[in-house]
Amino acid sequence: MLAYIIRRVFQSALVLLIVGLVAFAMFRFVGDPVDNMLGQERTQADVERLRQQLGLDQPFPVQYWRFLEQAVQGNFGLSYRQGRPVSDILIERLPATLELAFVSGLFALAFGIGLGVFTAIRRKGFAANAIMTLSLIGVSLPTFLIGILLIYVFSVELGWLPSFGRGEVTRIGGWTTGFLTESGIKALILPAFTLGLYQMTLIMRLVRTEMLEVLRQDYIRFARARGLRERAINFRHALKNTLVPVITITGLQLGSIIAFAIITETVFQWPGVGLLFINAIQFVDIPVMAAYLMMISVMFVGINLIVDLLYFAIDPRLRVDRSAGKAT
Amino acid sequence: MTDAPLSPVREARALKRFKRAWDSDFAYSFRRSPIAVISFFVVVVLVLSAVFAPLIAPHDPFNPATLNLMNGFTAPMEPNAFTGEVFLMGTDDQGRDVFSTILFGMRISLFVGFSAVLLAMVIGVTLGLLAAYIGGWTETIIMRTADVQLTFPAILVAMLIFGIAKGITPPEYRDQMAIWVLILAIGLSDWVQFARVVRGATLVEKNKEYVQAARLIGRSRGAIMLRHILPNVLNPVLVIATISLALAIIAEATLSFLGVGAPPTRPSLGTLIRIGQEFMFSGEWWILFFPAITLLALALSINLLGDWLRDALNPRLR
């Protein structure tokens, strides 16, 4: 168990080091950093001085080590485009993305589990079949088309909800939140739905499959024989046993929610880190790209690690299987 | 049959061959599935109209000489107020025929999609074969790389590759290179699936007797991998390629829609949707609607075809 944890942590650190190498290589080799920082009027002496200042005359491993040192402290230099520290820009944009991801994750989880249970219980019903068919089409629809469709229906035709931006935001310390104003909540609905829809269908299908599996078990039949009410059987006995894999998958999906937020944020002009990243790619703003890459990999690797360990802690069978497999 | 007279023997043989293909399990399962037939039909029509776009398109959307600004914003099937011209799917702000731009856009979407899948397939199959057949360090390095890449969503990897490639190419070549960079980005972001499947299948195949026999008669490693093992692991590769094609087309459209893909000078379906979105609020719905519905039909039918193919080639899954 301990060896497994240590190995997992070691692997995660290795992944981060590799991603760091990619980010560093971007800094170093995509465009000349000296060129990017000095204007047209410069002397050879300026160039040499800046090269020394930036440590570009040092050997490659030393430069990489320095980059990592700086990165760990959250220092990624100045954005080529905005001329401000990248870390400041990221921190300013992060609340918007996190709020969006949180709400859509919650939406996906609540409706995914609800609809999954429903379609499993009423397996042969018309409504359940309609939901399953719709979910197939939903998976094939590209995210940005769903966003555009929603904007067309609810903003252009009906005029109920805003089509872009975050609405009015309230500042609490370093955090900006859209939860406290009416326009902020209204602005959140369409993007959160767009972002959560795909994850919702995934969770729904997973819950449905697991539920169907569990409902076939003997203890469910026994619970029925004891004369328990359907409600109690479905929710207290069956659902509880389907939740372990659901939690794992949801945890892993958290990472892709943040990645897919890039698309949603662009469609709805949501001022988060995803939109920042896309703009950075368009203008080849390397420091922002590198910092976003590092930030998102820390999140991904961290989530993966936590989910792995959680799974290990929740399901004791895994531990037994592993040691048994090794003995043979 | 009237043009090219076949000798009765050859005719009979051709007929027999056709009948055998018609009666095969594969064809039977195809005929029995209306979804497969319909989506196959849609794909064929779309691909053919993209291939023959220069012949079908009523206008050349990339030749400024044939454009008339007076035709701008003509609604579908309504005569233009100034010139009286009628356009099947209307025109955009510059008077370009939407139907023609879709045909040419679909060409780019399909070209990028096919090329990217081909690239991913070649890389993935090669690395998968090498990993399984050689094993040892080669396998460790290849499969760990795959694991690391799989931690990140493919679309994010593609964006990153696109961004880096954009930084490396000089600005004046960026528009020309964009299509190739897209293929590279999507192809490199998608090889992992192929490598994993091929590795898994190869691990099973390599211990079978026919491989041992080939080794005994002294065939080289390369020949065993390419001539003996590869043909036997191709079925799952074909299924993944079909599903990857739909994903690649959607990925291309997404990247282009986000403005990090095909440039407006050579628009793909995604670029057209991006352009069309600007006119959604002012009521010119057709500039957005027709490219979007085309993309949808393309992606959905390829997806459904892939689903069917998976079931047809892999009866055990059912």
Q: What is the pLDDT of residue A38?
A: 64
Nearest residue, CB atoms, B296 vs list A143, A145, A282: A145
Q: Given phi > 0 = left and psi -120 to 50 = alpha, else beta, which region is A167? A: left
The residue extents of the domains of chain B are: 1-30, 99-317
From the list B152, B163, B166, which residue is nearest A300 (CB)?
B152
Check residues A259 and A276 and name the one with the higher pLDDT. Answer: A276
Alpha-carbon distance of A109 to B183, in angstroms, equals 35
Residue spans of chain B under pLDDT 70: 1-6, 63-73, 77, 80-84, 86-87, 95, 314-318
Q: Which residues of B171-197 are buried (b: 16+ CB within 10 A; e: fewer)?
A: eeeeeebbbebbbbbbbbbbbbbbbbb
Q: Which chain B residue has the Cα nearest residue A252?
A: B151
CATH architecture of structural domain B99-317 = Orthogonal Bundle (1.10)
Nearest residue in B to A304, CA atom: B151
Assess whether pLDDT exceeds 60 at residue A189: yes
Q: Which two tokens stand for residue B172?
A: 């004046």
Largest CA distance in chain A: 89
- A280/B163 Cβ within 8 A: yes
- Please give the C-alpha separations between residue B94 and each of A79, B73, B169, in angstroms, as whole numbers: 36, 8, 30
Q: Is residue A232 part of a domain?
A: yes
CB contact under 8 A, A259 and B300: no
List CB contacts (< 8 A) between A15 and chain B: 148, 151
**CB–CB of B163 and A142 under 8 A?**
no
pLDDT for B111 equals 93
* Residue A47 belongs to a domain: no
d(CA A285, CA A159): 36
Average pLDDT over residues A112-131: 83
Q: What is the per-residue pLDDT across A69-90, written as a single tens digit (0 to 9) for each?
A: 777 777 777 777 777 888 888 8
Residue B188: in which H helix or E strand, if any?
A: helix B174-188
B69 to chain A, closest Cα gap in Å: 27
pLDDT at A327: 39
Taking an 8 Å cut-off on Cβ atoms, the answer to whether A148 and B296 are in contact is no
**Residue of B147, B164, B294 to mutate, testing the A interface (most A Cβ within 10 Å of its Cβ):** B164
For residue A145, is it within any domain? Answer: yes
Alpha carbon distance B45, B63 (integer Å):
25
Contacts of B88 (CB under 8 A, 6+ apart): B58, B76, B77, B97, B99
Flag if A140 and B303 touch (Cβ within 8 Å): yes
Which among B167, B258, B285 has CB closest to A266? B258
Cβ of residue A262 closer than 8 Å to a chain B Cβ: yes
Hey, which residues does A175 pair with through a beta bridge?
A172
- Residue-wise DSSP of B133-160: HH-HHHHHHHHHHHHHHHHS-HHHHHHH
Q: Which of A253, A141, A243 is nearest to A202 (CA)?
A: A253
B56 in Cβ contact with B49 (< 8 Å): yes
Q: Does A158 touch chain B (CB under 8 A)?
A: no
CB spacing of B273 vs A278 below 8 angstroms? no
Q: Following DSSP, what letter does each residue of A51-97 receive, concatenated?
A: HHHHTTTS-HHHHHHHHHHHHHTT---B-TTT-SBHHHHHHHHHHHH
Question: Is residue A321's pLDDT more than 60?
Answer: no
pLDDT of A328 reads 36
Is A262 in contact with B300 (Cβ distance < 8 A)?
no
Q: How open is the CA angle B260-B261-B263, to the nearest 5 degrees? A: 105
Cβ distance A165 to A174 under 8 Å?
A: no
pLDDT in tens, A145-170: 888 888 888 887 787 887 777 777 77
Chain B hits for A151, CB-CB cut-off 8 Å, are 280
Alpha carbon of B258: minimum distance to chain A alpha carbons (Å): 7
B135 in the Ramachandran plot: left (φ > 0), alpha (ψ -120 to 50) or beta?
left
Distances in Å between the Cα of B271 and the Cα atoms of A283, B105, B255, B257 are 18, 8, 9, 5
Q: Does a structural domain hold residue A83?
A: no
CB contact under 8 A, A163 and B281: yes
pTM across the whole model: 0.80
Nearest to A304 among B151, B280, B288 (CB): B151
Q: Would the pLDDT of A109 be above 80?
A: yes
What is d(CA B66, CA A282) in angstroms, rounded to the nearest whole number?
A: 31
Per the CB < 8 Å rule, is B299 touching A140?
yes
For A:279-308, CB contacts with B below 8 A are 280-282, 284, 286, 289, 293, 296-297, 300-301, 304
The nearest CA of chain A is from the CA of B260 a distance in Å of 6
Give pairs for A160-169: CB < 8 Å, separation 24+: A161/A186, A161/A187, A161/A189, A161/A190, A162/A186, A162/A187, A162/A190, A163/A190, A163/A268, A163/B281, A164/A268, A164/A269, A164/A270, A165/A268, A165/A269, A165/A270, A165/A271, A166/A96, A166/A270, A166/A271
Counted domains in chain A: 1
- Mean pLDDT to the nearest integer, A189-211: 86
CA gap A215, A297 in Å, rounded: 39
A245 alpha-carbon distance from chain centroid: 18
What are the tokens at A133? Answer: 């068919």
pLDDT score of A323 more than 70: no
Distance CA A5, CA A140 (A): 38
| Structure confidence at residue B23 (pLDDT) | 72
Structure tokens at A126: 């018309």
Q: Chain B: nearest CA to A102, how far in angstroms? A: 19
DSSP state of A189: H
For residue A121, give the CATH number of its domain. Answer: 1.10.3720.10
Contacting residues of B for A282, CB less than 8 Å apart: 259-260
Q: Which residues of A touch B156 (CB under 8 A)?
A: 259, 262, 296
Tell if the CB–CB gap between A26 and B164 is shorter than 8 Å: yes
Residues of B with CB under 8 A from a CB of A: 148, 151-153, 155-156, 159-160, 162-164, 166-168, 246, 250, 253-254, 257-260, 273, 277, 280-281, 285, 288, 292, 295-296, 299-300, 303
CA gap A84, A77 in Å, rounded:
8
Instruction: Please give the Cα distance from B106 to B100 (Å, whole number).
Output: 10
A15/B148 touch (CB, cutoff 8 Å), yes or no: yes
Comparing A324 with B3, the larger pLDDT belongs to B3
At residue A66 the predicted structure's pLDDT band, cuts being 50, 70 and 90, is confident
Q: Which of B159, B164, B253 sits opposite A142 (nearest CB)?
A: B253
Complex-level ipTM: 0.77
Position B317 scores a pLDDT of 43
Region A270-279: what's the mean pLDDT? 88
Compute CA distances A272 → A206, A277, A284, B315, whole Å: 30, 9, 18, 46
- Min Cα separation A262/chain B (Å): 9
The whole-angstrom distance between A9's CA and the closest CA on chain B is 14
Handedness of CA A303, A304, A308, A311 (dihedral sign): positive
Question: Chain B: nearest CA to A305, how far in angstroms?
Answer: 11
Asked if B296 lies within 8 A of A141 by C-beta distance, the reply is: yes
> What's the rounded Cα separation, in Å, for the pair B80 and B72?
9
Containing H/E element for A175?
strand A175-177
Nearest CA of chain A to the CA of B294: how many Å?
12
Subunit contact B156:A297, Cβ cutoff 8 A:
no
Domain holding A275, by residue range, is 97-287
Position A177 pLDDT exceeds 50: yes
